[in-house]
Amino acid sequence: MTDRLVIIGAGQAGFALSAKLRMLGDMRPITMIGAEPEIPYQRPPLSKKYLLGEMTFERLTFRPAEWFVENKVELKLSTWVDAIDPAAQTVTCRGGEEIAYGTLAFATGSTPRRLPAAIGGDLKGVFVVRDKADADCLAVEMKPGRTLLVVGGGYIGLEAAAVARNLGLDVTVIEMGERILQRVASRETADAMRAIHESHGVTIREKTGLVRLIGENGHVTGAELADGTTMAVDLVIAGIGASANDALATAAGLATSNGIVVDEYARSSDPNIYAMGDCAVLPWKGAQVRLESVQNAIDQAEAVACLLVGGTEPYRPKPWFWSDQYDVKLQIAGFNLGFDETLVRPGSREGSRSVWYFSHGELIAVDAINDAKAYVTGKRLLDTGKITPDLAILADPQADLKQLLQ
Ligand code: FAD
């Protein structure tokens, strides 16, 4: 028997789990196995400042390489886990190495959906943005005057569109749904973000799907769209969502459903195996959800660390998220799943505003566009359970939001 903690995935959640355990003074052996060659690093800048060339890779890493040595966290990089055996409590890496565990943690993240090869998704010049290698390959292609087509109007696609405009590319975003950000935000937030992109010269075409990409000599040169038009393109970014990396867990017989199903203690259907971050499906107000965010990856992993040293607290997510596009900071507190009403409050700066989401009269989330005060207030209200704020104050742009916290 071993008390070794094996973490599959050396990203945000994997790192947070090991760091928190060491912070709590727990010195059990830890082996963290990651498919990528880099030491653990944060992803959000990959579609923002890193892609723009304003941030070096050193600033993306959570800790320098020495931290892992000093803290006795064994890192196995460029290593793919091929299988796990819950009965024998082992993981098998590609190449055959077998590692025994006492506790296993899945922190395997998610994989961006790619455009199918049958419609040209395998042509050169077609990108996704998930890891450093993706961003590095994309960055060298982002040359002024080139034409970029972004397929999918979600956060990552819109952030990449903003970077590309800043770098002088011609940018079109197509979204097959009714509108951009349809899955994640209200119409009001989408309208605001669309206006910001259009004011920067991005063409946004909603209700417009991709029929196929056209290629010449293996490189993308054009796109045929569902509205019957074609356009010439030099580059394509697919921002069409991501699926949880749960195949290993499924193959090992754990409960999965577009993610590894966990309870409020982040425990999978095997009590020795936890899952956290993008790969986990967790209970949320009676539903099963996947929260793809830095907040969830860190907080869920830290909750597991506390449990492993004898804690008893369940993980209760307090979601927050952000997206940077041009000089606009969109900050989101809460989770708007199931909202039935919104209230828009203009902010004090030009262009700033906030969208407040309600479900059955209770506040569940806030989107704040260049409006830090609204974000902080909304987050505080949600964290403290003051979810029936005075709507008269909220709707009055002259009223001080602080009153809601009293
Ligand atoms: P990851 O950080 O993705 O780490 C998973 C790791 O596991 C990967 O390195 C993967 O290679 C490895 N792995 C998977 N399977 C195996 C295997 N079988 N063997 C070995 N290794 C394996 N969130 C925000 O809150 N705000 C933002 O602004 C924001 N922007 C983002 C921008 C981009 C471009 C991306 C890609 C994500 C962004 N996110 C943002 C989301 C956030 O980065 C993720 O939610 C977070 O990284 C999830 O952490 P994780 O540890 O679950 O997964």
Q: What is the pLDDT of residues 196-215, one digit of tens each?
A: 999 999 999 999 999 999 99
pLDDT of residue 406: 86
CATH architecture of 5-111+242-308: 3-Layer(bba) Sandwich (3.50)
**Model confidence at 66, in pLDDT bands (50, 70, 90)?**
very high
Residue 9 beta carbon below 6 angstroms from any ligand 1 atom:
yes
Segment 82-105 mean pLDDT: 98
Segment 254-266 mean pLDDT: 98
Asked if pLDDT for residue 110 goes beyond 90, the answer is yes
Ligand 1 centre to CA of 43 (Å) is 6
pLDDT of residue 81: 98
Atom of ligand 1 nearest to the CA of 80: 19
Q: How far apart are CA 156 and CA 324, in angstroms?
A: 10
Indicate which residue's Cα is closest to atom 31 of ligand 1. Answer: 44
Atom of ligand 1 nearest to the CA of 9: 7
Report the share of the chain in percent with pLDDT over 70.
Answer: 100
Indicate which residue's Cα is closest to atom 18 of ligand 1. Answer: 81
pLDDT of residue 345: 97
pLDDT of residue 363: 98
Asked if pLDDT for residue 1 goes beyond 90, the answer is no
Segment 224-249 mean pLDDT: 97
User: Which pTM value belongs to this model?
Assistant: 0.96
Q: How far is CA 290 from the centre of its chain?
A: 10
Residue 34 beta carbon below 6 angstroms from any ligand 1 atom:
yes
Instruction: State the average pLDDT for the chain.
Output: 97
pLDDT of residue 36: 98
Segment 206-226 mean pLDDT: 98
**Model confidence at 341, in pLDDT bands (50, 70, 90)?**
very high
Atom of ligand 1 nearest to the CA of 129: 34
**Model confidence at 399, in pLDDT bands (50, 70, 90)?**
very high
Task: Provide the CATH number for the domain formed by 327-405 in this structure.
Answer: 3.30.390.30
Lowest-confidence pick of 22-36, 248-262, 338-352: 338-352
Residue 8 beta carbon below 6 angstroms from any ligand 1 atom:
yes
**Model confidence at 325, in pLDDT bands (50, 70, 90)?**
very high
Atom of ligand 1 nearest to the CA of 301: 51
Asked if pLDDT for residue 382 goes beyond 90, the answer is yes
The CATH fold assigned to 114-238 is FAD/NAD(P)-binding domain (3.50.50)
Residue 46 beta carbon below 6 angstroms from any ligand 1 atom:
yes
Give the start-to-end residue ranges of the domains of the chain. 5-111+242-308, 114-238, 327-405
pLDDT of residue 313: 97
Ligand 1 centre to CA of 13 (Å) is 8
Give the mutation target among 6, 8, 12 for probing the ligand 1 site: most ligand atoms within 8 A of CB: 12
pLDDT of residue 390: 95
Atom of ligand 1 nearest to the CA of 277: 52
Q: Do domains 5-111+242-308 and 114-238 have the same CATH topology?
A: yes
Asked if pLDDT for residue 361 goes beyond 90, the answer is yes
Residue 36 beta carbon below 6 angstroms from any ligand 1 atom:
yes
Segment 69-84 mean pLDDT: 98
Residue 103 beta carbon below 6 angstroms from any ligand 1 atom:
no
Segment 45-59 mean pLDDT: 97
Asked if pLDDT for residue 351 goes beyond 90, the answer is no
Atom of ligand 1 nearest to the CA of 47: 34
Q: How far apart are CA 99 and CA 112, in angstroms?
A: 28
